[in-house]
Every structure is written in C-alpha cells, then in structure tokens.
Amino acid sequence: MQEVLLTHSGYKKLEEELNDLRGPLRKNIADTIREAKAHGDLKENAAYHDAKLNQKRLESRIADLEKVLQKARIVERPENNTGEAHLGSKIELFDEVYNEKLTVSLVGSYEADPANNMVSITSPLGSALLGISEGLECTVEAPGGTQKYKILKVE
C-alpha cells in the first residue's frame, strides 16, 4: 500500500473510528457470539453465524484502518496562501451547465463523501480542481458527461 494523503480532520475521524471498532463494537460482537453459543447447536444457529460474519467484517475493517493510518501522511495547508486549491481547500463553484452554485472540500480518497460535498482529489472533479485559482474555469470529463465550472472562491 502506498502513502495515503489525509487532512488533519480526516486522520482524526479515522482514528476515532478505529478506537470505536476496537472498543465498544468489538465487545458487542463478542457478547453476541457468546450469547448465540449459549443457545447450543452451532451448525444451525443463524444468530451465531451472523455474529461470526459481523466479527469477520469488523476485524477486516480494523486491519484496513490500521494500514491506512500507518501509511497516512497528513497534508497541511501551505503557510503562504497562493490562492490555489489543494488538499483541504474549500472551493465555491458555479456549475455553468445547471446554473447553480456549490461548495466542495478537497479531501483524500479515504475521506471522500460526495453526499456531504467532500470530493476526493483522485476523482475527476477533484483532480481538475487541484491547483486551480479563483476566477478560472475548468472542464471536467465525468462518467455523466462534460461539466463546466467557474471557480468563485478558494479557501
């Protein structure tokens, strides 16, 4: 696994998730397995098999998060604000196709959450916005077609 770029807040969120998975969630699954075992005959015990599957998923996610946090590099905003967009920037755009404003934050791939306007720098939109300044326009080739944006503000 290569280096994973994260914002400081993204690193903290992943760290909190890992602590939650290692603590309360792991204990809850262990309790569920223990309770299901008490019902006897494990071969036909759906609750036991479901709990074991959840345990496997949990341990897989824990291992994944541990690798990500081990390979993570926190990227801070540059001291000299050049007005260019980079990881951690908040960008106000005007969508020229749909005639509407939107604001997105550029984040690492593990932090991406398009539903909350957190766009990965590896996505078509995110990579088009990297290094762009206020007042410029950009064209994004996305799976849904070509989008045109005017950059209104970079924070």
- Going by C-alpha positions, the residue among 92, 89, 94, 103 that lies closest to residue 131 is 89
What is the predicted pLDDT for the residue at 80?
62
User: Which run of H or of E encompasses 120?
Assistant: strand 118-120
Contacts of 102 (CB under 8 A, 6+ apart): 92, 93, 95, 117
What is the predicted pLDDT for the residue at 4?
86
What is the predicted pLDDT for the residue at 77?
66
Tell me the domains of the chain and their CATH numbers.
4-74 (1.10.287.180), 90-154 (3.10.50.30)
Q: What is the pTM of this model?
A: 0.74
**155 falls in which pLDDT band (50, 70, 90)?**
confident
Q: Is the pLDDT of residue 79 over 70?
A: no
What distance in Å separates the CA atoms of residue 5 and residue 73, rounded to the nearest whole number?
5
